[in-house]
Structure 1
Amino acid sequence: MDRNDSPQGPEANPPTGLPAVGRALWHLRAGNWRKAHEIVQDDPGPAAAWIHAHLHRQEGDEANAAYWYRRAGQPVCREPLEAEWRALAGELAPSLLKP
């Protein structure tokens, strides 16, 4: 994984109007680890903490990930990263789409 990569072209930015957690999920899926981490770094909410945990799992830092899972009130995930991303998106997306 290259944490410096960012998407290019017309899809290089998330849709306007997304809250911070939504933007972090978007960047996470787009492969922009650094931007997703930047967004959740100072967000005290449990959703951001869960994304933060997932990001540290991606980089192989299990101890740091465990800390963020505790902050999120989530069990430490042992599923494949893709399965966890789907769980994150499935759980968080409905709240992001509310007007």
Structure 2
Amino acid sequence: MAEALKTAIDKLKAGDWDGAHAVVQDDPSADAAWIHAHLHRIEGDLANAAYWYRRAGRPVATSGLDEEREAIARELG
């Protein structure tokens, strides 16, 4: 599963928001929820992002988008 989530991050880094979203959409894991939250934060849907942060068991991010994306990538390994 971690490989799929790494793929989502790679797609996001390449500018493929829809592709990244498709990867995490049906994944019930907390890591996928964190990426999902990040994606909705990017699009400016902060209420939806907050929902996904809760699903991930994480506080709403206050760092920059690039910083958060790198933090996600680091945690995924």
Q: Flag structure 1 segments of 5+ consecutive residues without an equivalent.
A: 1-17, 94-99
The structure in which a higher percent of residues are helix is 2
The aligned length equals: 76
1:85 is the counterpart of 2:74:
no
Q: Kindly report the root-mean-square deviation, in angstroms, between the aligned alpha carbons of the 2 structures.
A: 1.0
The aligned residue for residue 65 of structure 1 is 49
- From the CA coordinates, give the structure whose radius of gyration is larger: 1
1:74 is the counterpart of 2:58:
yes
- Residue 19 of structure 1: how far off its partner (Å): 2.1
Structure having greater relative contact order (Cα 8 Å, sep ≥ 6) = 2
Distance 2:71 2:5 in 1: 14
Distance 1:32 1:84 in 2: 17
Distance 1:61 1:79 in 2: 16
- Percent identity over paired residues: 59
- What TM-score comes out, normalization by structure 2 length? 0.93
Give every structure 1 segment of 4 or more consecutive aligned residues whose post-TM-superposition deviation is greater than 4 Å: none
Distance 1:90 1:57 in 2: 19
